[in-house]
Chains A and B, each alone.
Chain A
Amino acid sequence: MATVPSAALPAVPRGQAGPVPAEEQYVTFTVGTEEYGVNILSVREIRGWTPETKLPNMPDYVRGVGNLRGIIIPIFDLRARFGGGQTEVTKRHVVVVLQVGERTRGILVDAISDILTVAHDAVKPPPDIDSGLIDQQYLSGLVTAENRMVTLLDVTRLFAGDAVEELSSHHIQIPRQAQA
Chain B
Amino acid sequence: MAGAHLDDLDRFKATYFDECAELLAVAEAGLLRLSPQNIDLDEINAVFRAVHSIKGGGGTFGFSQLVAFTHEFEAVMDRLRSQQIGVTTELVDVLIQANDVMARLLTCARDGLPVPAGLADASASDLKRFLRKDASGSAAPAAAPRPPAARKAPPAGALRSFVIYFMPKSDLLLSGNEPAFLLRALKRLGQAEVVCDMGRVPPLFELDGESLYLFWQIALTGTTDEAAIRDVFEFVVDDCQVDIAETTGPADGGEEEAFGLFAENLPYVPPGQLTVYEAGAVEGAQAAPARPEGGAGSGTFGGGGGGGGLGGHTIRVDLDKVDRLVNLVGEMVITQAMISEQLRDVPPGTLQQLVEGLEELSRHTRELQESVMAIRAQQVRSVFSRMPRLVREVAAQTGKEVMLATSGETTEVDKTVVENLVDPLTHMIRNSIDHGLETPDERETVGKPRSGTVHLSAQHRSGRIVIEVADDGRGINRQRVLQKAVEQGLVPAGAGLSDEEIDNLIFLPGFSTADAVSAISGRGVGMDVVRRNIASLGGRIGVHSTPGVGTRFVLSLPLTLAVLDGMVISVGEQRFVLPLTNIIESLRPRKSDLQSVANQCDVIMARGEYVRLVYVDRLFRIDGAIGDPTRGLVVLVETEEGGRLGLVVDEVLGQQQVVIKSLESNFQRLDGVSAATILGDGRVALILDVAGLQSMSRHTHTRAVPAAALPAA
Contact = CB atoms under 8 A, between A and B. Distances in A.
Asked if A pairs with B, the answer is yes
Contacts of B670: 55-57
A97 to B, nearest CB: 10
Interface residues of A, number: 32
B704 A65 contact: no
Contacts of A64: 684
Given A174-B699, A180-B707, A70 B330 contact: yes
B97 interface: no
B192 to A, nearest CB: 56
A109 B661 CA distance: 26
B685 interface: yes
A74 B705 contact: no
A19 interface: no
A179 interface: yes
B668 A72 contact: no
A175 B672 CA distance: 17
B684 A56 contact: no
B327 A66 contact: no
A57 B620 contact: yes
Contact of B666 (A72, A177, A180): A72
B663 interface: yes
B622 A70 contact: no
Size bracket of the B interface: 35 or more
A164 interface: yes
B399 interface: no
Most buried by B among A51, A56, A69, A172: A56
A104 interface: yes
Given A51-B683, A56-B620, A103-B666, A71 B672 contact: no
Interface in A166-180: 172, 174-177, 179-180
Nearest to B328: A70
B621 interface: yes
Interface in A48-90: 50-57, 64-67, 69-74
Interface in B493-544: none
B665 interface: yes
B574 interface: yes
A56 B331 CA distance: 25
A66 B684 contact: yes
Contact of B707 (A54, A71, A176, A179): A179
Given A56-B619, A175-B699, A180-B707, A105 B574 contact: no
Interface in B313-347: 327-328, 330-331, 334
A127 interface: no
A136 to B, nearest CB: 24
A165 interface: yes
Interface of A: 50-57, 64-67, 69-74, 102-105, 161, 164-165, 172, 174-177, 179-180
> What are the 3 A-B residue pairs with the smallest beta carbon separation, nearest first?
A70-B331, A56-B620, A53-B684
6 contacts: A55-B673, A69-B331, A71-B666, A72-B678, A174-B696, A180-B704
Given A52-B684, A57-B620, A65-B684, 7 more contacts: A53-B574, A57-B671, A67-B684, A70-B327, A174-B699, A177-B703, A179-B698
